[in-house]
Amino acid sequence: MLNVTLQPNYGVVIFELDGQLSVQDFIHAAHKIDPYIDHAGGLKGGLVCVLGWPVWESFAAFSQHLAFIRNHHHHMAKVAIVSNSTSFKLFAPIYGTSLQCQIKCFAIDAIESGKDWILAD
Question: What is the rounded average pLDDT of the residues 80-97?
Answer: 67
pTM of the model: 0.88
CB 6 within 8 A of CB 46: no
Query: Any idea which fold 2-119 has?
Result: Transcription Regulator spoIIAA (3.30.750)
| CA dist list (Å): 100 to 1, 39, 53, 63, 96 | 26, 20, 22, 20, 7
CB 55 within 8 A of CB 22: no
Domain ranges of the chain: 2-119
For 9-50, the pLDDT digits (tens) are 999 999 999 889 999 999 999 999 999 999 999 999 999 998
